[in-house]
Amino acid sequence: MLDLFDYQERTLAALREGMRQGYRSQMLVAPTGGGKTEMAIALMEAVAMKGNRCAMILDRRVLCDQTSQRMDRYGIDHGVMMAGHWRFRPYEKIQVCSAQTLERRESFPGLKVLIVDEAHQTRKQTVEFIKNNPGVMVVGLSATPLTKGLGKVYENVISTVTTSDLVDLGRLVPLRVFVCKEIDMTGAKKVAGEWSQDDAAERGMKITGDIVTEWISKTHEVFGGPRKTVVFASGVEHGADLARKFGEQGYNFVALSYKDEDEFKQDAIKEFSRPDSSIHGLIATDILTKGFDVPDVMIGVSARPFSKSLSSHIQQMGRVMRCAEGKEFGLWLDHAGNYIRFMEDWEDVFSNGITKLDDGREKPKPEKSEKDKKEAKCPRCGCVWPPNSEMCPSCGHQRVRLNAVASVPGQMEELKSDKSVTKQDKQVFYSQMLWICRDKGYKEGWAANKYREKFGVWPKGLHGDSLMPTNETIKWVQSRQIAWSKGKAR
């Protein structure tokens, strides 16, 4: 039985409303871990119950198998259109198709609804199929629909839930982010606006030792020992080099690439998915950015720099943000500089989601100077400064732009972004504001305003119990009162 969450039901309702309004092709946007596949399956089941044919296309054999297995789990009859597949049942109303199989067909008789998985990765033949079959309703699925030209394929965007919402709902976990010695891409060649993979791999290998050393340090410091890890390497050779270096330190990391047989990759991922896996980590470039669903991964290592690909950066982080029993946060170790490079865009996507297609986000990002990178963090507590803010959201420190921030070469520093704050932390802060508010006789709107001042959003889904504030909280309130008084005097 397939049961959907409220936000998933809301999303499908918005999708159906778009169909009633006459939109033939729509993009369904939800963060990684938001259950897009479940929503797609529910939609196909509804279409089939009305006697219509529908199909979902995926661009890899393993993804077709995974989707078919999920449908089996929910007891949904279906067929699989893929070369040599044992479940070839063309008479079924619901079909799971490989993109290659669909593209070889000039038509799909009786097809009513087509669902395109990972729709941001536009395939020319799939786009042609959509354009040449105007009678078919099309739904694209994506967490990061930032690809140029998507607005010419999809007419409407359905986006009802953000990453922030899913963290608050407990469907995703926040990240604790550390930055460290970066791969130096100064002067590296670019291909189509992105750093050449050969150059990235060559330069990444120069800091392989740092990557391994920092992982050992942080996994013991934060978790008390090794935890499941995914590493995003700069290339095939870089991945193999990392696996060797981890092995020399006694840790079993398996490098995967397009050069490996599908069976080897599937077996490695299957073993890694076991709760008592013998594999400490998987290393790859792109393979782990889609169709990889291992919720108990605790650590992600970013070692592939991107110049413009915000979508790849978000997809990678999403692999570590899935929920698992006992998992309170994911650890993100950034050796690529991507987190600070895309920080403002990520904050926007985290809080507001993506509601427009082809909005120009994926233009090459100007590389930040060392001074910019240092000034991205609060000098008092290490928290990342929110965009357009002069006050640290963690400790209330006022930004002094002339001051530089000293850093320790080779040592990771945690970026204590307010996105790593748990819902419980927010509840505690709000309850402390309510205590002050009631103690001073303020209107309760004062507490909500202070919460918004600290976190940038109104309190939502929090209870109204009060809690005596800590000294740190009292100092924060006092710092805001002082800042307000100085501003009024000016």
Percent of residues, the chain, with pLDDT higher than 70: 86
Residue 194 is predicted with a pLDDT of 83
What is the mean predicted confidence (pLDDT) over 178-200?
Answer: 82
Residue 489 is predicted with a pLDDT of 64
Task: Please write the tens of the pLDDT for every residue from 271-286.
Answer: 999 999 999 999 998 7
Task: Please write the tens of the pLDDT for every residue from 133-144.
Answer: 899 999 999 999
Give the amino acid at 358: D
In terms of DSSP bridges, do strands 281-284 and 253-255 run parallel, antiparallel, or are they unpaired?
parallel
Mean pLDDT score across all residues of the chain: 85
Asked whether the CA dihedral 479, 483, 484, 485 is positive or negative, the reply is positive
What is the mean predicted confidence (pLDDT) over 361-368?
Answer: 59
Give the amino acid at 441: G
Give the amino acid at 355: T
**Taking 80 as the threshold, does the pLDDT of residue 461 lie above it?**
no
What is the mean predicted confidence (pLDDT) over 6-25?
Answer: 95
Strand partners, 377: 384
Q: Name, in order, each residue with C-beta under 8 angstroms of 443's C-beta and a sequence gap of 6 or more.
A: 437
Residue 405 is predicted with a pLDDT of 27
Q: φ and ψ at 182, to 5 degrees?
A: -90, 155
Task: Please write the tens of the pLDDT for every residue from 371-415.
Answer: 566 666 666 655 565 555 566 655 567 664 432 223 334 556 666
Residue 282 is predicted with a pLDDT of 96
Distance of CA 78 to the CA centre of its chain: 30
Residue 195 is predicted with a pLDDT of 83
Classify residue 364 by its DSSP letter. Answer: P
Could you please report the per-residue DSSP string of 187-246? T--EETTEE-HHHHHHHHHTTHHHHHHHHHHHHHHHHSS---EEEE-SSHHHHHHHHHHH
Q: φ and ψ at 391, to 5 degrees?
A: -130, 135
Task: Please write the tens of the pLDDT for every residue from 72-90.
Answer: 999 999 999 988 889 999 8
pLDDT-based confidence at residue 12 (cuts at 50, 70, 90): very high
Distance of CA 100 to the CA centre of its chain: 27
Q: For residue 361, give the nearest of 387, 341, 332, 335 by alpha carbon.
A: 341
Domains detected in the chain: 6-161 (3.40.50.300), 167-420 (3.40.50.300), 423-489 (no CATH)
Residue 412 is predicted with a pLDDT of 61
Residues in the chain: 490
What is the mean predicted confidence (pLDDT) over 332-354?
Answer: 89
**Taking 70 as the threshold, does the pLDDT of residue 149 lie above it?**
yes
Distance of CA 105 to the CA centre of its chain: 34
Task: Please write the tens of the pLDDT for every residue from 161-174.
Answer: 999 999 999 999 99
Give the position of tokens 């998987």: 282
Between CA 293 and CA 230 the distance in angstroms is 12
pLDDT-based confidence at residue 113 (cuts at 50, 70, 90): very high
Lowest mean pLDDT among 16-30, 178-192, 309-323: 178-192
